[in-house]
């Protein structure tokens, strides 16, 4: 699988089914650049999760709607409902553990 770019217009449809993780990031953000490869690796390993990323500078409406004030923020949804949100850099193991609880639930 791959990490799919999502926008303000496509976000709701892109995250409406199953377990999804959206990486809110910006090109100028150092920790975001560290987090992106981790999310990419997970997308290859966890076929039962949909992975998206959203550039907060190009898409301000969705981050505002969810009160995202710091990046990277990773928003986890299950069947369209927000179930978790974490801020800052996280390791692959940390993210895998987080996502597994929602996949198995």
Any idea which residues carry the catalytic annotation?
A: 29, 32
Q: Report how far apart, in Å, the C-alpha atoms of 14 and of each of 22, 47, 80 are.
A: 10, 15, 9
In the DSSP assignment, the letter for residue 3 is P
Interacting residues of 80 by C-beta distance below 8 A, sequence separation 6+: 12, 15, 16, 17
User: Is-cis flag, bond preceding 72, omega within 30?
Assistant: yes
């Amino acid at each position: 699988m791959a990490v799919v770019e999502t926008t303000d217009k496509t976000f709701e449809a892109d995250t409406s089914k199953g377990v999804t993780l959206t990486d809110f990031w910006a090109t100028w953000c150092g920790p975001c650049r560290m987090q992106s490869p981790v999310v990419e690796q997970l997308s290859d390993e966890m076929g039962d999760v949909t992975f998206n990323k959203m550039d907060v500078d190009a898409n301000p409406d969705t981050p505002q709607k969810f009160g995202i004030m710091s990046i990277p923020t990773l928003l986890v949804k299950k069947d369209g409902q927000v179930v978790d949100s974490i801020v800052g850099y996280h390791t692959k193991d940390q993210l895998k553990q987080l996502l597994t609880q929602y996949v198995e639930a």
